[in-house]
Amino acid sequence: MTASLSPMRPTLIAALVTACLFGAACGDDDDDGTTSTTAAPATGSTATEVGTDSESDGGEGGDEDSSGGGAPGSDPESTLEDFFTSGDPELICVELATEELVALVWGDEQGCRDALVANAIPDSIEIEDLEESDGEATATVTPGGGPNKGIPTEVTLVDEDGTWRVESIQADVPAGP
């Protein structure tokens, strides 16, 4: 029964992902309508809180670039950290999102860059249920700040030629102001 999908579906998905990531048209106070499902961890998952201010792993400085590991996209956790908390358009729109995600959600790289809203970037995230297998990873990411604070977001990542990139994002974002 998947012969024809509504032409509005890609537009709706794009709007939800943009709202989730960059805070466009999201309400601040009503987080009550969100729900989260938690899958049983296959390899013992843990929750990790990641912040951009004080959680530097002993690097040389650079409060803004506090990815937990090496180069951007070197592992799923650091990819999630950088994608959600860096606020860096080059990193988010070029290095850490798949071309398909950028095209579906923002149309192109410039649309992605234009969608970034400085005060909507969370200052921390919590990563739960991170599972990696055969070049794909899934996790639940909950922003610790910004307009989507506390809203669980299901994320799928893929390993493209040694770089982990965000392939899909799904969240129940409250509508309206």
pTM higher than the cut 0.75: no
Residue-wise pLDDT for 60-75, tens only, equals 333 334 444 568 899 9
pLDDT average, residue stretch 39-49: 34
d(CA 50, CA 42): 22
CB neighbour list of residue 3: distance below 8 Å, 6 or more residues apart: none
Who wins on pLDDT, 11 or 130? 130
Architecture of domain 9-28+44-171: Roll (3.10)
Query: What are the boundaries of each domain within the chain?
Result: 9-28+44-171
Question: How many angstroms separate the CA atoms of 152 and 140, rounded?
Answer: 6
Neighbours of 44 (CB within 10 A): 6
Residue-wise pLDDT for 108-161, tens only, equals 999 999 988 877 889 899 999 999 999 999 999 999 988 889 999 999 999 999
